[in-house]
Structure 1
């Protein structure tokens, strides 16, 4: 998710105190400093019932992983950008708490929530992979958890029709990249290509996601966030450029444009009256902030510029620090 060229590029911007990078870095450090005081919430069984069956247990157990994953990510990224070992060591505390305690996920939403929240754990491990303070035995323990628990949850859902598959593929390709499993990287790219133009209609709407009544714009975002993040990982892994992949006018960009337009004009959303449109400083702002460097689309920039620096610290982790860690296809 964060190649060395990107990290070196951002470190240079921070050293020069160039905005908005420097302000975004200060936000990251504040979050990492807060995480230094936090304890883990690892669960042996990540048991997440369906939201509409038991909302309290769904939220409580989901938050255990979401909080720890974000803290691990913030600390791992802070270590890479600052070089301070205290952040790496704290990130490892969160990673190893789950690797040592968590052995399974369960119930109706266990696989999905682990897939979309645990992405940050895998990204953190990638950021810390060469950290000398990560003991070999502990690293092997974490890689076992990543393969046998986390990736299992992702692979279990990656053939679904809607956003479940998208989060499954992101989790699976992240883990495959971490484990240097080239065959599984290729398989996830194949899966993305196999149904991208079923997921995206000619006008840009996403048929499986607009069904979700007032939350149709949210679910469109919730599908595009992992699709674009998995496409970014694919590009880093073997140079496959899914951002320009298109067929009969259908592409990731047409879906992004459709989502943005209706976020700004929710009254024109034909799928349900009064949909929730999101905000520049939250979703879909974080996604559009990430996609602006990819597509150089000025309307994406115009939508988010007053909300910078953007970061998304909760629930799911695809484009978590998009102002700080901009995904350029080339870093000059």
Structure 2
């Protein structure tokens, strides 16, 4: 306990002033339970979700000591191994949410087992393109943090704090590096921010807010375009940049912070403007040929590797923008129709997203 107290001192962790802002809070869980009980479609969606969770009860965790996806082509053995390990993230989240919905201890125990396995083995390396995939682990922790044994909470929180601080102190975000201002930084901010609010680290929260302001100013432009779009000539990367910023903006808003969707930088840039610039392409009113003028060799390497969607001249598909619409509709309800048009059908994620939207302050 004394060691953990020192970790809290040096990482700025203060338990747990924020209720669930990364995941659903108690009031929202209650609403979700009522929705599942009353709505036939939601009930069917939940039934499949529960079926998956029951299956996960009999599966063993597959934690990785090092996450490795960034810069690797499809088919690379290290990338394949990592994506197999990432399946644990959905499993621990599913089990955590099932515990909150049912109160059944077996789901809590199994979700905790997955989280502890990763916390004890995984060592973060400060690469945001790799770490961005721990979303569901953070959400799982946030869902069950008030129900964990103290010793288990200490282990998991230490791992999450180490992951966040590895990003803050990473050489990849040093001034002058492209990875300090492009989509890497958007994902870095999301990783640090979601962990900061989950573990209630005031120091990390303030770092996130300060750096989100500067990122919007550097990475987004007043005309709605982005640095990543200009470098990659691809909507794919404009979306990949906006998605983590939108997720972070929602978490901050849920914590009663500033509205970073409408926040404008000194240069007149905003997440809102960059979403609205994308709208005609999402609606199919405008078209774009992807990667024709990309300046990044990795894009060309993936095209040569025959990875779908990366060949220069590939037409942008509006459905690729679904992650942006699913998040931006939180701030702009007028996009609900577009969300329905692009949606692949109801899922537990879409249900939880809607619950969060309905709880906007």
Alignment TM-score, normalising by the size of structure 2: 0.75
Query: Deviation string for 1:28-70 (max 9, x for gaps)?
Result: 3243234333322112333556314x85134223214421112
Aligned to 1:124: 140
Tell me, yes or no, if the aligned pair for 2:64 and 2:82 is still in contact at 8 Å.
no
In 2, Cα distance between equivalents of 1:46 and 1:268:
33
1:167 maps onto 2:184 in alignment? no
Where do residues 100-139 of structure 1 align in structure 2 (5 Å cutoff)?
A: 100-105=120-125, 111-131=127-147, 134-139=148-153
Deviation at 1:158, TM superposition (A): 5.9
Runs of 4 or more above 6 Å deviation:
none
| Matches of 1:307 and 1:124, distance apart in 2 | 24
Indicate how the Cα distance of structure 1 residues 225 and 310 shifts in structure 2: closer, same or farther if over 3 A, else same. Answer: farther
Name 1:9's counterpart in structure 2: 31
DSSP-derived class of the 1:250 partner: coil
Q: Which moved more, 1:267-276 or 1:90-99?
A: 267-276
2:62 corresponds in structure 1 to 41
Residue equivalent to 1:195: 215
Distance 1:269 1:249 in 2: 27
Q: Residues of 2 paired with 1:172 and 1:245: CA distance?
A: 20
Distance 1:70 1:7, change over 3 A: same
How many angstroms does 1:92 deviate by?
1.3
Is the Cα–Cα contact under 8 Å of residues 200 and 250 in structure 1 kept in the other structure? yes
How much does 1:145 deviate?
1.1
Aligned to 1:240: 258
In structure 1, runs of 5+ residues without a counterpart are 312-319
Residues 167 and 226 in structure 1, CA contact (< 8 A), matched pair in contact too = yes
Cα distance in 1 between the residues matched to 2:44 and 2:275: 27
SS of 2:227's partner is coil
Q: How does 1:1-332 map to 2 (within 5 A)?
A: 1-4=22-25, 5-17=27-39, 19=41, 21-48=42-69, 50-52=71-73, 55-105=75-125, 111-131=127-147, 134-148=148-162, 150-155=163-168, 156=170, 160-213=180-233, 216-246=234-264, 250-263=269-282, 264-265=284-285, 267-268=287-288, 272=292, 274-275=313-314, 277-278=316-317, 280=319, 283-298=320-335, 300-305=336-341, 307-311=343-347, 321-326=349-354, 327-328=356-357, 330=359
* Count of residue pairs brought into register by the alignment: 310
Offset of residue 242 of structure 1: 0.9
1:227 Cα offset (Å): 0.2
RMSD of aligned residue pairs (Cα, Å): 2.9
In the TM superposition, what is the alpha-carbon distance from 1:291 to its structure 2 partner? 2.3
Q: How far 1:79 sits from its partner (Å)?
A: 1.9
Task: Compute the displacement of 1:196 (Å).
Answer: 0.6
| Residue ranges of structure 2 left out of the alignment (5+ in a row) | 1-21, 175-179, 293-311
Provide, for residues 74-104 of structure 1, a one-character-per-residue CA deviation record: whole Å limited to 9, x for no partner. 2212222233333222211211111122234
Max Rg structure: 2
How far is the alpha carbon of 1:269 from its aligned partner? 5.2
Segment drifting more, 87-96 vs 202-211: 202-211
TM-score calculated relative to the size of structure 1: 0.81
